[in-house]
Amino acid sequence: MPELPEVEIASRQLRAWALGRRVTAVQVGKTRVIRGQTPEAFAALAGRTLVGIERRGKWMLLLFDRGLGLISHLGMTGKWLRRERAAPAPKHVRATLELSDKGVLDYTDPRLFGRLIAGSVEALRAHPSLAALGPDPLGGVDAARLYQALQRTRRSIKEALMDQGTLAGLGNIHVGESLHRAALHPERPADSLSREEAALLARHIEESIRFALEAQDGPEPIKYVEEGGENPFLVYGRAGEPCPGCGSEIERIVQGGRSTFFCANCQPRTAGRRPSLPQAKAKPAKAKQPKTPAKARAKPPAKARSKAPAKTRQKPAAPAKKR
Ligand SMILES: [Zn+2]
């Protein structure tokens, strides 16, 4: 399924194939992909030259001259393909743009979850789907902002990251991969993550995206894993296979109606390494609390306690990894 890296690659391919080319003819079927619009709405693109492509999360905005635009979301199975005009059309074509260089761009989408929206660039930029997007993680994830966003929800970390308002472009694959890389259990409440864990997660989101871009970038259209394409991912689609980190069996659970793949050994449910913290250190801190007469004094011990785990984190983590 296309997520940020796959859409980024699609936008690079479209730029290579069509930037600076004029659209000579447009054909759009009456399909779910253009829901809410008539095929005629796309006719205005004929005669326009593609001058740019912007990508935000999983959304692309194709910019044509004289202020016209085309939003493209690939949904689950959408793909842009290029062929020569004389070559036979591929299957499941929902829209076709003929180009001035005799090339043809076909938008194919067997399952019809994709979107094509034509209009003025100004109107398209203000489209609710684009306006609702959080920051795009390709240029780097702001760890402090991510921490703040996660603090605001009690949903699971998996579901919070699936929300395009948290970060734009992550989906089932890259949320699962990032959580695995960051050793975070997908069912942890989002607001249970510490600043350190959010920072770790931010780095691994960047890493997961970078990895997918490197593994999949090229001139050929991507064959999605669901279509039988090669699976380059660590845990995605690998239930029952050994975890690449520890050899334990990768599990599959369902969250928000979607599969989550993870390793229960590498991604323990408990926050941080709390269970293996020395009990003796935590207890005296608690015991001191009732003795403090003023309410204000209750805060310093609480802070001290939350700092203690961070300092001792390295020690308990090491034996856990050897398992
Ligand atoms: Zn593992």
Query: What distance in angstroms lies between residue 187's CA and the mean position of ligand 1's atoms?
Result: 16
Query: What distance in angstroms lies between residue 287's CA and the mean position of ligand 1's atoms?
Result: 37
Q: Which residues pair with 289 in a beta bridge?
A: none
Q: What is the dihedral of CA 261, 263, 269, 271, to 10 degrees?
A: -110
pLDDT recorded at residue 293: 39
- Higher pLDDT pick, 40 / 181: 181
Whether the predicted pLDDT of 40 surpasses 60: yes
Reply yes or no on whether 2 is catalytic.
Answer: yes
Whether the predicted pLDDT of 110 surpasses 70: yes
pLDDT recorded at residue 221: 85
Q: How confident is the model at residue 270 (pLDDT cuts 50, 70, 90)?
A: confident
Query: What distance in angstroms lies between residue 265's CA and the mean position of ligand 1's atoms?
Result: 5
> Average model confidence (pLDDT) for the chain?
87
Whether the predicted pLDDT of 273 surpasses 70: no
Reply yes or no on whether 303 is catalytic.
Answer: no
- Higher pLDDT pick, 294 / 70: 70
Whether the predicted pLDDT of 313 surpasses 60: no
Query: What distance in angstroms lies between residue 146's CA and the mean position of ligand 1's atoms?
Result: 25
pLDDT recorded at residue 278: 34
Query: What distance in angstroms lies between residue 219's CA and the mean position of ligand 1's atoms?
Result: 34
Whether the predicted pLDDT of 127 surpasses 50: yes
Query: What distance in angstroms lies between residue 183's CA and the mean position of ligand 1's atoms?
Result: 9
What size, in residues, is the chain? Answer: 323
Q: What is the 3-state secondary structure (H, E, C) of the chain?
A: CCCHHHHHHHHHHHHHHHCCCEEEEEEECCCHHHCCCCHHHHHHHCCCEEEEEEEECCEEEEEEHHHEEEEEECCCCCEEEEEECCCCCCCCEEEEEEECCCEEEEEECCCCCCEEEEEEHHHHHCCHHHHCCCCCHHHCCCHHHHHHHHHCCCCEHHHHHHCCCCCCCCCHHHHHHHHHHCCCCCCCEHHHCCHHHHHHHHHHHHHHHHHHHHHHCCCCCCCCHHHCCCCCCCCCCCCCCECCCCCCECEEEEECCEEEEECCCCCCCCCCCHHHCCHHHHHHHHHHHHHCCCHHHHHHHHHHHHHHHHHHCHHHHHHHHHC
pLDDT recorded at residue 317: 38
For residue range 145-176, what is the model confidence (pLDDT) as tens digits? 999 999 999 999 999 999 999 999 999 999 99
For residue range 231-255, what is the model confidence (pLDDT) as tens digits? 999 999 999 999 999 999 999 999 9
For the segment 51-75, the average pLDDT, to the nearest whole number, is 98
Q: How far apart are CA 181 and CA 176, in angstroms?
A: 9
Reply yes or no on whether 58 is catalytic.
Answer: yes
Active-site pick, 32, 145, 195, 258: 258
Q: How confident is the model at residue 271 (pLDDT cuts 50, 70, 90)?
A: low
pLDDT recorded at residue 244: 97
Q: How confident is the model at residue 272 (pLDDT cuts 50, 70, 90)?
A: low
Active-site pick, 2, 5, 186, 309: 2
Query: What distance in angstroms lies between residue 249's CA and the mean position of ligand 1's atoms?
Result: 8
pLDDT recorded at residue 91: 97
Q: How confident is the model at residue 314 (pLDDT cuts 50, 70, 90)?
A: very low
Whether the predicted pLDDT of 48 surpasses 70: yes
Whether the predicted pLDDT of 205 surpasses 70: yes
Query: What distance in angstroms lies between residue 267's CA and the mean position of ligand 1's atoms?
Result: 7
Query: What distance in angstroms lies between residue 129's CA and the mean position of ligand 1's atoms?
Result: 36
Reply yes or no on whether 3 is catalytic.
Answer: yes
Query: What distance in angstroms lies between residue 276's CA and the mean position of ligand 1's atoms?
Result: 18
pLDDT recorded at residue 321: 36
Active-site pick, 55, 58, 115, 238: 58
Query: What distance in angstroms lies between residue 273's CA and the mean position of ligand 1's atoms?
Result: 15
For the segment 200-204, the average pLDDT, to the nearest whole number, is 98
